[in-house]
Structure 1
Amino acid sequence: MKNVMRVSIVLFLVFLIACQAENQESNEQEEPVEEAADTSNSTEATETNEEAVEETSETEEPAENQDQTDDVEVTQPVSEPLYKVSENWSLVPLEEGTNENVVLLTIDDAPEQYTLEMAKTLKELEAPAIFFVNGHFLETEEQKDILRQIHEMGFAIGNHTYNHQRLTEADEATQEEEIRSLSVLIEEIIGEKPEFFRAPNGANTDFATSLVEQEGMLLMNWTYGYDYFEPYMDADKLKTAMITGEGPEVDVPYSLLKPGAILLMHDREWTSAALADIVKGLREKGYEFADPSAIKLP
């Protein structure tokens, strides 16, 4: 009987040992499966993250583009006109309360030699002006680039005829060609038609006056100017004449300077040299410089 019990106990122990071995073997086979499952989850997570990054990048692009758009300088709309040009060639306020103590700077025969230098001087002094240009000074790429530069500085560009033709000595066909061909050229260079016109020597004709109005330009002469007279082809003398308005050496012993005066100057060496002092001197006398965009057009 004891022998039977011993055998039973032995068999039972053998059975337990066998079961434990089987369980251990089973656990050892399952571990790689768990690792594979972890690797699979890691891959899915990586792909999900990559997709998220791609989606984030795609959604961020409009924001980046928006930032670029925000950086673009937007041109402000032109304000309502403040002045008109009178029959005696000066600026007159359109409404009471508008500053009368203004003068308008205009520079003819651009861009011959000193236009860019003069434009930089005025830009630094924050003094607006109209540059009246001639077509025969716009026939090279360098000259055209100068025109673009002064336009990009914010200066108004005016039509002064293509060849500086004295209109009173030309037939109507020639007058029309002189005016219209230059307006076309200016628009090709700066993308805008000129809004102001000045006849060479201030010599207008009825035909030219009518044509200029049809073209949407404002005809403009001047109140005074001295740099084309020989006695004032000197920076110091010119400075004094332009600031005082007096030109005694050309029979103008009285001052032509007044509120609204339109000042005539040219692309000349002595004018360029005197320009900064002229601007400062007129400001010291209490005058501001009218912005051409504030002038009423036809």
Structure 2
Amino acid sequence: MRVWALPLALLALALCVTYSVATRPQPWTPAAPLRPAVVTPEVLAKRLVSMQAGWPRSRKFDCSKLKCVALTFDDGPGEYTARLLDLLRAHDVRATFFVVGQMVEADKGGRLTRRIVEEGHEIGNHSWSHPALAGLPREQIERQLKRTDDLVEKLTGVRMRVMRPPYGSTNERVVAELRREGLAEILWSVDTLDWLNRVPAVVAKRAGAAKPGSIVLLHDIHRSTVEAVPAILATLAKKGYTFVTVSELYGRTPAAGRSYSER
């Protein structure tokens, strides 16, 4: 072998050994499992507050010129509320939900309650346990309102500004407490009686009699009411109505301690 060829042969041998080691199959080692991000209640609360900045998100309708109607749903959230929210979202309709504190508490960590707010609906207070408020002393009225207000705010970051007294049971004592709590009293001008006659066609016909500026009373705890919603939307849309929340109906958040039943 020539002298100059020896270094080349040694270099080739070294390259072969290096390639063999680098490409040799290595023993498989399982990757460390990914740890899910931990979201503390404090972080969740901050996210919710940030998300709801400027709530409720008004779409700025001029209901002095448009044919507006406010659909309102009481007593939930319940087992049919998710289906109702699906229907409203599919038709790009916003409504006002007056929630009962005990129902919010039973709402699997507030899933439906948060969805109501996240999807742009207005949320209102309907007391904690649905009593006739006019028959209660001031301290109990305060507890019925504040306990529900506090729970909804904890879950959604929203402080409610509208309230509907169960059964429409109200008096000066109730209104005075609403004023102290910063809530407007929202009644109604169209009662569908959906709790009494649980027939979708009957409920839809009564809701379809709404006039411009009407506040329509419905209950999302009844399956028959939710089943009536497509017909209600179709009937009123055909008549040229615009569906709004209660606050949008008046063009502003209603004043605390005042009563409203229609525009």
TM-score, structure 2 as length reference: 0.70
What is the CA–CA distance in structure 2 between the aligned matches of 1:191 and 1:121, rounded to whole Å?
25
- Asked if the contact 2:66/2:242 (under 8 Å) is kept, the reply is no
Q: What residue in structure 2 maps to residue 156 of structure 1?
A: 122
What is the CA–CA distance in structure 2 between the aligned matches of 1:135 and 1:151, rounded to whole Å?
15
Q: What residue in structure 1 maps to residue 231 of structure 2?
A: 277
AA paired with 1:225?
A: D
How much does 1:145 deviate? 1.1
Change (3 A) 1:159 1:73: closer
- Asked if the contact 2:192/2:216 (under 8 Å) is kept, the reply is no
How much does 1:183 deviate? 0.5
Change (3 A) 1:103 1:171: same
TM-score, structure 1 as length reference: 0.62
Look at both structures and tell me which one has the larger radius of gyration over its CA atoms. 1
Give 1:238's match in structure 2, choosing from 203, 209, 214: 203
1:205 partnered with 2:158? no
Q: What residue in structure 2 maps to residue 262 of structure 1?
A: 215
1:124 partnered with 2:90? yes
Change (3 A) 1:74 1:208: closer
What is the CA–CA distance in structure 1 between the aligned matches of 2:58 and 2:116, rounded to whole Å?
21
Name the SS for the 1:142 alignment partner. Answer: coil
- Asked if the contact 1:225/1:265 (under 8 Å) is kept, the reply is yes
Name the SS for the 2:72 alignment partner. Answer: strand
Unaligned runs of 5+ in 2: 1-49, 256-263
Q: What residue in structure 2 maps to residue 69 of structure 1?
A: none
Change (3 A) 1:156 1:79: closer
Unaligned runs of 5+ in 1: 1-71, 84-92, 246-256
Change (3 A) 1:161 1:117: same
What is the CA–CA distance in structure 2 between the aligned matches of 1:79 and 1:259, rounded to whole Å?
19
1:133 partnered with 2:104? no
Deviations 1:148-189 (A, max 9, x none): 112111111100000001112211111111011110111011
How much does 1:205 deviate? 2.0
AA paired with 1:284?
A: K
AA paired with 2:104?
A: L
AA paired with 1:160?
A: H
Name the SS for the 1:138 alignment partner. Answer: helix
Name the SS for the 2:145 alignment partner. Answer: helix
Give 2:108's match in structure 1, choosing from 138, 142, 145: 142
More helix by share: 1
Give 1:289's match in structure 2, choosing from 243, 246, 254: 243
1:196 partnered with 2:130? no
How much does 1:226 deviate? 1.8
How much does 1:215 deviate? 2.2
What is the CA–CA distance in structure 1 between the aligned matches of 2:192 and 2:65, rounded to whole Å?
26
How much does 1:213 deviate? 2.0
Aligned residues: 201
- Asked if the contact 1:111/1:143 (under 8 Å) is kept, the reply is no
Deviations 1:65-97 (A, max 9, x none): xxxxxxx999778569767xxxxxxxxx5xxxx
Identical aligned residues as a percent: 26
AA paired with 1:219?
A: E
